[in-house]
Chains A and B, each alone.
Chain A
Amino acid sequence: MGPVITAWSAISACGIGRDAFEKASPRPSPLDDNSPGDQAFLASAFDTREMLGAKGTGSMDRSSALAIGVVDELLAGLDVDERTGVVLGTTSGSSQTQLEFTRESLTRRKPYFVNPASMPFALMNSAAGQAAIWHKLTGPNTTIAGGRMSGLGVLRYGVRLLATGRASGVVCGAVEEYSPARAWLEYHRGSRHVLGEGAAVLFVEPSGQARDPLAEVLAVETRVAVDGDRAAGLVRCLDRSFAKAGVSPGDIGTLVLSAPGGELAEAERAAVAGLRASVVNPAEVIGDVGAATGPFQIATLLRSPGLAVATALDDDGTVGCALLRVFS
């Protein structure tokens, strides 16, 4: 048996933890922060100070806080060793922290009158590094900037770490904060979807360990649609996944989509038109959570035993899918 998922957790507009994600049907929160949208799916139940305390969190970015929080949820009751890795996906880190750093530099009396404590939080690897520090995870610690492909990129990379014995188990996931800075960047990239914020993580480890597997990772296939035909690229990923795992497309019971709308959604729907699976899209529940979409898709498909597929596409031309066998 290939690598397996043995635990997961999530923080989103649904609330904190697995039960919240399974049961809640959140409404977007109204915004009055001068951002381009008037509502967003905020993880309001997660207050950094309340959840993590005041120590070390004064300059902390929202993404790092969410990462620490969700890994805390995951590891509650999970016994892990010192070769446990953390692999998290992102779009470009905490845009708000980066914006505020530049704002300080440009508006204070001297350009270097900036808050030095905020600098490491402005880097993209802050969330994964912080999750490791707070939970003493000394295995490989990797940040993959994959945008909307982060979930698949992280899973593919994490499985590779297991195959080469570099980690005993890997916390695979992604984080996306909501902030006005992110909202404006998305707006100027042409997105008009209701944004969401969230963090979701899976624990992936070799099969045959003590924990009962929730699902087996049968295949993760990704490629780049260099000719611009995303749908055709995604079809090739699906075909290769089915061939690799020796399954028939007709056996796929659940399909979890990623795109919140627009051109990506059209390509995604065109690529999966031949599948007769029941279709879900977590963006309808928690909003557009950007880089965090992937692990939320996996968390969603874990509900339905049988063969399941999660697909993903990014504006930059990457496409891909994951094929899993979910156990009952």
Chain B
Amino acid sequence: MRRVVITGIGVVSSIGTGAGEFARALRDGRSGARAIEAFDTTGFAHAGGCEVRGFEPGRWVRNVPLVEVGRAAQFAIASARLAVEDSGIAEAELRDRTGVVSIGTTDGGADDGERLAETVVRSGAQSMDSAAAHRVPASRLATGVARELGLSDVDVSTIATACAAGNYAIGNGFDAVRTGEADFALCGGADAMCRTTFTGFYRLGAVDPECCRPFDAGRSGILTGEGGAVLLLEPLETARARGARIYAEVLGYGLNCDAHHQVAPDRDSVRRCMELALADAGVTPGEVDLISAHGTGTKANDITECGAIKQVFGDAPPRTVSVKSMLGHTMGAASALGAAACALGIEDGFIPPTINHTETDPECGIDCVPNNSVSADLRVVQNNALAFGGNNAVVVLGKR
């Protein structure tokens, strides 16, 4: 098995675009929360979210006709382009290699889908916009990246495992490069703001009226968000041979399924997933310096996740942060953004904070690095992701 490293990071987020700007925003503890503009929020008592403002798709989508590319696919393409640029590999060179493009998503083209549904409700199904109908299939995210970058010798997959999808995609890319099946992977996640997701969480009473405050005693839910993050993975030898900057090594990952409840996470199963990931990475719990939690900011998630963390790490677990406090819950992009944050933290020597924090919930009982980032030498970092359907995925990054 080959060792696999991250040599390129591409990010589109509510707090910054590009690896450098994203890293600065994380260090500063910036908030992406504002009033939602992506859809009509009339009738909701509150409607805050973390949208990407000022995004110009034409800057990134230059080869595929823009009319064929939905917003989530635009984020995937922009993130992939940024990751390739960041890696220093010429696009033409990438085209000669066998690769993997794997993009995780919760909603895929559902933002177009719900606008088509509105057409059906208001004017009838005959009136659907044909171009939008073509943008609905989620496969467009991964194939959009391949088409835009001219990559033909690639195994493309859009992985639709809801809110854990980013980690799934990174794990998939890691395995393909590790086994020698592929010589590079562009992997991560992307999602656009969706009315459906917001409405569903709102109905469940799981949207915080003000801000997202994971692990805080006063937390009351998520803020929905949007964005994308893509990592460029390649074998360690290739990266070394070309003198590439190596952010971090992907040490391993774990996947499992609660097979228990559709929406409520299962503590023992989440624990098991972390154990699988650490075993795959060949590290012990004592070696982990930081956990980037799923940390949605709902009552149930944070207690269950922290409980599982303590089962693995004991009563004094490593510092456990949630970048969702800054980015909101970006669904399929969330764990990819989390992994990007971990890699940047390892490279730049800092821990991103959990912002909006007043008082830690004793039932969570972890050090969430409240409000201000801290400098730290990080050797091993664990990035958690949980999803509806009991889909768990944990990725472990590090430097050796």
Contacts and interface: CB of A to CB of B under 8 A. Distances in A.
Interface size class of B (residues with CB under 8 A): 35 or more
A164 B139 contact: no
A76 interface: no
B112 to A, nearest CB: 10
Nearest to A227: B152
Interface string B359-400: 000000000000000000000000000011111000000000
Given A184-B128, A224-B143, A114 B259 contact: no
Nearest to A116: B203
A78 interface: no
A145 B121 contact: no
Interface size class of A (residues with CB under 8 A): 35 or more
B116 interface: yes
The A interface is mostly helix, strand or loop, or mixed, namely mixed
B138 A225 contact: no
B282 to A, nearest CB: 14
Contact of B195 (A91, A102, A126): A102
Contact of A145 (B122, B137, B269): B137
A90 to B, nearest CB: 7
A195 B178 CA distance: 40
Contacts of A34: 125
B162 interface: yes
A125 B162 contact: yes
Contacts of B195: 102, 105
Contact of B139 (A113, A146, A181, A184): A146
A314 B134 CA distance: 12
A96 to B, nearest CB: 10
Interface string A122-153: 11111011101101111111111111010001
B349 interface: no
A262 to B, nearest CB: 14
Nearest to A185: B133
A146 B158 contact: yes
Given A92-B110, A124-B162, A163-B179, A129 B391 contact: yes
Contact of A188 (B133, B389, B391): B133
B133 to A, nearest CB: 4
B257 interface: yes
Contact of A156 (B120, B129, B138, B155): B155
Contacts of B168: 142
Given A160-B175, A164-B175, A316-B140, A105 B257 contact: no
Interface string A209-235: 000000000000011111100000100
Interface of A: 34-36, 85-86, 90-93, 95, 98-99, 101-103, 105-107, 110-114, 116, 119-120, 122-126, 128-130, 132-133, 135-147, 149, 153, 156-157, 160-161, 163-164, 166, 180-181, 184-185, 188-190, 222-227, 233, 314-318
Interface of B: 42-44, 105-106, 108-110, 113-114, 116-118, 120-122, 125, 128-130, 133-134, 136-140, 143, 146-147, 150-162, 168, 172, 175-176, 178-179, 181, 195-196, 199-200, 202-204, 255-263, 269, 272, 387-391
13 contacts: A102-B196, A123-B160, A140-B255, A140-B256, A142-B255, A144-B159, A153-B157, A160-B172, A160-B176, A160-B181, A181-B117, A222-B155, A224-B151
Interchain residue pairs A-B with the least CB separation, the first 9: A129-B389, A141-B257, A145-B138, A119-B200, A124-B160, A102-B117, A188-B133, A140-B255, A111-B43
